[in-house]
Amino acid sequence: MTADSAIIATFIVYLLLMLAIGVLASRRTRNAGDYFLGGRRLGPWVTAISAGASDMSGWLLLGLPGYAFASGVQAIWLVGGLWLGTYLNWRLVAERLRRYSQGAADAITLPAFLSERFGGHRGLRIGSAFFVLLFFLFYVSSGLVAGGKLFESVFSIPYGYAVTAGTLVIMLYTLMGGFLAVSWTDLIQGLLMALALVVVPLLALHQIGPSVAIERIRDIDPALLDPFANASGLAIVSLLAWGLGYFGQPHILARFMAARDTSTLQQARRIAMGWVSLGMLGAMAAGLAGIALLQPVASDFDAEKVFIELIATLLHPIPAGICLAAILAAIMSTADSQLLVASSALAEDLYGALGKGTLNERRRMSVARLTVLGIAATAWGLALEPDSGVLELVSYAWAGFGAAFGPVILLSLFWARMTARGALAGVIAGGVTVVLWKQLSGGWFEVYELLPGFILAFVAAIAISLIDREPAAEIRTRHQRMFG
């Protein structure tokens, strides 16, 4: 068996396994609650690893190693911000959101939770769903771009065909099994990602030696070993600010809502933090190893392919195929979750807000699956631009969700005085700020758009809530009954 055929065989086995899981999950998907939230019966391992895998996506094996390859140990600021954000999200949001989303009319989507939290506010549900759809188009596209780069590198096929193939596979098992298929495949994919992120950097360090690697990096550019060398204060703040995005990511928050109970989330938090720590440190180490092993590189070398190049350099065909499948796993584990949440925003929230009561269960499922098709097709169109950067697309969508929903989610869980108008003002202020800030440059506008968006959303939500009259007594009572 040739090297290429061994890698192709590994990919085919992996893809068939994912589709088989989709078929199995479809047999346990009977209604919209199952399709969008898995019937709230996820155990600790599936909750933890699927939350991490759907969070990290292709950027963990492409974008983050590429950033470390280009910037050196400056990447530690990004890793630190994300690690802290992950921990605080599990600690502050997970259990409260699980309890409150079920208590708020058993809400199965984030816009539905926000609406029911304030007594069924229709405008808040529609406004939230709009921003979910807007930013998920960019997020799903980032996954398809990552898939295109992977297939293009491994199989030397045209980028457009590569993006199309990846889109079809992800769409098929998401259509069949919904949330259960997505979560079960995420568990397998998350473990495969962790394996690759441990094996590849360790092999690289074994081959070159840690001290030799450091010397080579120093010879190339000493600044690559200094976290402060090429990082201004604004740059460090921007990198740390990535951690704020966790509080508003619908595809991550959906895992909290889908857990079996709050004790499941306590176990899941410990598993998730171990997985995240291993994954991010491994990704950063891979980028740094790439500097030492792959230099010099061609002037047109795509830094986001450094992990792929390390695999090709260090591994024999079958283990290389497994590690390359891990990159595909990372891409699929997020794109499928995002497709599902985006489709729920349209099928359950926008469509539902305009007449959910007239839809029977079969009709809701049909609308949901048609929405998956439509969103996948739109994201595929956006992803066909081969010069798109994975990290660039992810950063925009991450900022949009973090600013639009992060402050509102935190306040809705911890502040009984918050009102529906305040929540809607926060969602709009955060989302619009990210869109506008992204178009500006120079001076303070170089700060990552998530930070100003997050701050302005907090201010808007609090200010409008205080101006507005107090929430109805039954809303305040329900909040106090849940949290004291």
pLDDT in tens, 323-340: 887 777 667 667 777 777
CB 121 within 8 A of CB 398: no
Written as one string, the DSSP assignment of 305-369 is: GHHHHHHHHH--HHHHHHHHHHHHHHHHHHHHHHHHHHHHIIIIIIHHHTTGGG--HHHHHHHHH
Report the C-alpha gap between 83 and 238 in whole angstroms: 15
pLDDT digits (tens, 9 = 90+) for 264-288: 999 999 999 999 999 999 999 999 9
Cβ burial, residue 205 (10 Å; 0-12/13-18/19+): middle
Q: Report the range of poorest mean pLDDT among 27-36, 64-73, 121-130, 327-336.
A: 27-36
Report the C-alpha gap between 383 and 41 in whole angstroms: 34
Report the C-alpha gap between 349 and 97 in whole angstroms: 18
CB 89 within 8 A of CB 48: no
Backbone φ, ψ for residue 105 (5° rounding): 60, 30
The model's confidence at residue 459, banded by pLDDT at 50, 70 and 90, is very high
The CA R_g of the chain, rounded to the nearest whole Å, is 22
What pLDDT does 133 receive?
Answer: 85
pLDDT digits (tens, 9 = 90+) for 206-216: 898 889 999 99
Q: Is the pLDDT of residue 458 over 60?
A: yes
Look at residue 421 and give its three-state secondary structure: helix
| DSSP-assigned beta bridge partners for residue 257 | none
CB 90 within 8 A of CB 336: no
Structure tokens at 1: 């068996």
Report the C-alpha gap between 398 and 396 in whole angstroms: 5
Nearest 10 degrees: Cα torsion 335, 340, 345, 349: -170
Task: Give the rounded percent of residues in the chain with a pLDDT score beyond 90.
Answer: 37
The model's confidence at residue 251, banded by pLDDT at 50, 70 and 90, is confident
Q: Is the pLDDT of residue 388 over 70?
A: no
What pLDDT does 366 receive?
Answer: 74
CB 447 within 8 A of CB 470: no
Structure tokens at 86: 């992950």
More confidently predicted of 353 and 194: 194
CB atoms within 10 A of CB 446: 12
Alpha helices, DSSP H, located in 38-121: 44-58, 64-71, 75-88, 95-103, 110-117
Cβ burial, residue 102 (10 Å; 0-12/13-18/19+): middle
Query: 3-390 adopts what CATH topology?
Result: Sodium/glucose cotransporter (1.20.1730)
Does pTM surpass 0.85?
Answer: yes
The model's confidence at residue 455, banded by pLDDT at 50, 70 and 90, is very high
Q: Is the pLDDT of residue 436 over 80?
A: yes
Instruction: State the amino acid at position 105 in one-letter form.
Output: A
Distances in whole angstroms, Cα of residue 169 to Cα of each of 94, 175, 389: 31, 10, 22
- 25-39, 47-61, 375-389: range with highest mean pLDDT: 47-61
Contacts 24+ apart (CB under 8 A), 228-237: 229/72, 229/74, 230/71, 230/74, 231/74, 231/77, 234/444, 234/446, 234/447, 235/74, 235/77, 235/446, 236/77, 237/447, 237/448, 237/451
Q: Please give the mean pLDDT across all residues of the chain.
A: 84
Structure tokens at 293: 């092993």
Report the C-alpha gap between 212 and 289 in whole angstroms: 11
Look at residue 273 and give its three-state secondary structure: helix
What pLDDT does 425 receive?
Answer: 97
* Averaged pLDDT, 246-250: 93
CB 359 within 8 A of CB 370: no
pLDDT digits (tens, 9 = 90+) for 461-475: 999 999 999 988 888
* Averaged pLDDT, 439-465: 93
CB atoms within 10 A of CB 91: 11
Report the C-alpha gap between 97 and 120 in whole angstroms: 17
CA atoms within 13 A on the CB side of 56: 39
What residue ranges do the domains of the chain occupy? 3-390
